[in-house]
Amino acid sequence: MLNALALYGRYTAASVRGQLAYPTSFALMTLGAFLITIIDFIGVWALFQRFGHLGGWTLGDVALFYGLTCVSFAIADAITRGFDVFGPTFVKTGAFDRLLLRPRSTVLQLLAYELRLTRVGRLAQGALVFAIGVALTHYHWSAGAVAILAFAIAGGVALFSGLLVMQATLAFWTVEGLEVANVLTYGGQAAAQYPMNVYAAWFRNLLIFAVPIGCVTYLPMLAAIGRADPLGSPAWVGPVAPVAGFAFLGLALFTWRFGIRRYASAGA
């Protein structure tokens, strides 16, 4: 285990050095990731200018949900690059054979494939929007609230990573990997940027019970800011809800192992 961590550290250090070898390119791509995500929030601002509030929430409230979701997704997206490109880069080329031959788990090796530093741009955007939310609202941020948020981010990283692992697992069958999986990763992030109670029931239930994004964003955020759930979930649910993210990751890793058994090399 310790050895695996050390190995991961060495892999990622190499990946980071490689990306920093082209500083201008790195800076531009990071700035780009920041810009492309912050403009979405300008759209949210414009709508609040017109309507004033959304289902009882102010712009500051929505900024908190939005920021939390973006931070979790940015971290997951940075560490799971190997799974994101799994179909075209590993299955189609047969490079996965080599991973199977090495005496380490495939999950570790794919995690170590690349630590995408440019996602710092997306992370910074999420943190900025969250800070705007804190400035615009007047919630009391106790140590307990911060702990709930940290747990929510951990659960969110687990959940989004789980989605990317499942997307990669599909490549055992489809080889190329399916763009449609973006609906759940990018699309799930986009949906969770708003408090879940504003959605129609079928959509909301999908995001809380089927793909439990609401459990790592909406429910813990309610607990952190001390607001009762307009949907009526009991108060104890919020702080423990992010566990669903880890359960989802566990399920994803289980399907991954199932998929590997089905793998037949496509390369030479």
Partner 1 sequence: MSGLALRPYLAVFSGRLQLTLQYRAAALAGFATQLWFGAIRVLIFAAFYAGGAAHAPMSLANAITYTWLGQAFLAFLPWYPDPDIVEMVRTGAVAYERLRPVDTYGWWYMRALAWSLARVAPRAALMVGFAGVLLPLVGLGQWGLAPPPSFAAAGLFALSALGMVLLSAAVTLILDVIIVSTLDDRGTNAVASSLVNLLSGLIVPLAFFPDWLRPWLRAQPFAGLIDIPFSIYFGGLSGWSAVGAIATQFGWVAALVVFARWRLAAAMARLQVQGG
Q: Residues in the site for partner 1, rule: CB under 8 A? A: 25, 28-29, 31-33, 35-36, 38-40, 42-43, 46-47, 49-56, 178-180, 182-183, 187, 190-191, 194, 198-200, 203
Whichever of 32 and 144 has its CB closer to partner 1, that residue is 32
Whichever of 109 and 193 has its CB closer to partner 1, that residue is 193
Whichever of 40 and 97 has its CB closer to partner 1, that residue is 40
Find the shortest distance in angstroms from Cβ 130 to partner 1: 20
Decide if 132 contacts 63 (C-beta within 8 A): yes
Whichever of 22 and 141 has its CB closer to partner 1, that residue is 22
Q: How far apart are CA 256 and CA 250, in angstroms?
A: 10
Find the shortest distance in angstroms from Cβ 29 to partner 1: 5
Whichever of 107 and 116 has its CB closer to partner 1, that residue is 116
Find the shortest distance in angstroms from Cβ 113 to partner 1: 20
Find the shortest distance in angstroms from Cβ 198 to partner 1: 4
Find the shortest distance in angstroms from Cβ 123 to partner 1: 16
Find the shortest distance in angstroms from Cβ 95 to partner 1: 23
Taking alpha carbons only, the member of 94, 102, 118, 105 closest to residue 34 is 118
Q: How far apart are CA 211 and CA 168, in angstroms?
A: 17
Find how far residue 134's CA is from the centre of its chain: 21
Whichever of 187 and 259 has its CB closer to partner 1, that residue is 187
